[in-house]
Chains A and B, each alone.
Chain A
Amino acid sequence: DGGITQSPKYLFRKEGQNVTLSCEQNLNHDAMYWYRQDPGQGLRLIYYSQIVNDFQKGDIAEGYSVSREKKESFPLTVTSAQKNPTAFYLCASSTLRTVGAYGYTFGSGTRLTVV
């Protein structure tokens, strides 16, 4: 079955450490997205990518970085510059055709905690 796989499910980061969240999809979707979810604030867009080797900043990109070297993969790095990284991170994907039908397909999320 096609879908989006996020790993790890739980991640703990020490102060000053960079960590990378993995997102892989086998849906052949062109676009991929990273969202951050905090209680009471809904989903906020961090970065998105429409094609390989191209990506754009979302609303809260500071302290984060991404790469899109393969169509299937869109890893997110949370850098030490992100002062409040504790949150639930969601990866999503779509095509221009499917986004009109049902929006995005989401992964199961990664919960990042600063220790």
Chain B
Amino acid sequence: EDQVTQSPEALRLQEGESSSLNCSYTVSGLRGLFWYRQDPGKGPEFLFTLYSAGEEKEKERLKATLTKKESFLHITAPKPEDSATYLCAVRGRSYAGGTSYGKLTFGQGTILTVHP
């Protein structure tokens, strides 16, 4: 069974104070690790997909990295508008009735608050 654990559960930063969020995972045959951003009362929005160890993706102040056991979301010089819940999910090799389908397993999320 695929499992995803995110840490910390909550993170408070001052504006400009860089930090990292962790996503540890176990999966049978990784077919993608996904990062999403979720604002309060809204659905998650896609940020990054990583497929193999050593891969990195960047978008503005965010950088996602991947190893064989975990992924990090690095936030450089964060701003208050970066405050949100960040979700990590993995897609493994899942089969139902002989047909592969796209089941994602999610972590519990990290609530990031950036104070001005």
Q: A residues engaging B (CB < 8 A)?
A: 4, 6, 31, 35, 40-43, 45, 48, 50, 56, 88, 90, 92, 94, 96, 99-109, 111
Flag if B108 contacts A31 (CB, 8 Å).
no
| Closest beta carbon of chain A to B93's beta carbon, Å | 12
Interface residues on B, range: 20 to 34
State which residues 21-76 of B face A: CB under 8 Å.
31-32, 34, 36, 41-46, 49
Name, among A31, A43, A45, A105, the residue most crowded by chain B CB atoms within 10 Å (CB to CB).
Answer: A43
Flag if B31 contacts A100 (CB, 8 Å).
yes
Flag if B102 contacts A94 (CB, 8 Å).
yes
From B46, which residue of chain A is reached at the shortest CB distance?
A102
Flag if B46 contacts A103 (CB, 8 Å).
yes
**For residue A94, which residues in chain B have a CB less than 8 angstroms away from its CB?**
102
